[in-house]
Chains A and B, each alone.
Chain A
Amino acid sequence: GAVVSQHPSRVICKSGTSVKIECRSLDFQATTMFWYRQFPKQSLMLMATSNEGSKATYEQGVEKDKFLINHASLTLSTLTVTSAHPEDSSFYICSAQGGLNSYNEQFFGPGTRLTVL
């Protein structure tokens, strides 16, 4: 149980285009989903927290107009990187919290490697 999927697993896009990344909890209802990004040899940095049906809460320094987050249902959250630039190239990981272990750990997706040319 507690499986989280992400799609796509990797994407290459041109500078200036927008990219949408999906995060799904497959076997439980995720009341809260988190989006992280990770640069090489760095820690996972929390970008935003989203609760189903409400606006996401962004961490300091993260542009909410650039990284659009939608948590439309208890099993799906999307992150859209708008007008992507090479510096947005990174590994984006989502996690979901809810179900039987909502008091404890987050369950992570496999990540999406974004490369902006």
Chain B
Amino acid sequence: DQQVKQNSPSLSVQEGRISILNCDYTNSMFDYFLWYKKYPAEGPTFLISISSIKDKNEDGRFTVFLNKSAKHLSLHIVPSQPGDSAVYFCAASARSGGSNYKLTFGKGTLLTVNP
């Protein structure tokens, strides 16, 4: 049972345009969400996170939006750059469940930014 779903396995955008990566979750206990970027044969790199008490968090070119009622979050990258090309993983945790914040990952979306 996939508790975190990234339904688009790939996304291709033009340099300078906006990239929108989507993520849905089913577990209502999740209260903290993160986006990671991953290059092949490397570990994920943390990008941005959001707590369930917020609906938006912005960091430079990256903005994460959270819609709790729809159990949906999205990552916006604007403007997109060729160096953003990577696999993006959405992850969620239930922090209230204890001190070890286990992460549940989606399957990832491969973003390709074309020059």
Contact = CB atoms under 8 A, between A and B. Distances in A.
Interface of A: 4, 6, 32, 34, 41-46, 49, 51, 57, 91, 93, 95, 97, 103-111, 113
B22 to A, nearest CB: 15
Interface residues of B, number: 24
B3 to A, nearest CB: 10
A45 to B, nearest CB: 8
Contact of B43 (A4, A32, A41): A4
Prevailing SS type, chain A contact patch: strand
A46 B89 CA distance: 14
A57 B97 CA distance: 15
Interface string B80-115: 000000000100000100011111111110000000
B53 interface: no
Interface in B46-77: 46, 49
A46 B32 CA distance: 17
Contacts of A95: 43, 103
A49 B105 contact: no
Nearest to B46: A105
Q: Which of A4, A57, A95, A105 has the most CB of B within 10 A?
A: A105
Contact of A107 (B46, B89, B104): B46
Contacts of B49: 104-105
Contacts of B42: 110-111
B107 A106 contact: no
Contacts of B43: 4, 6, 93, 95, 108-111
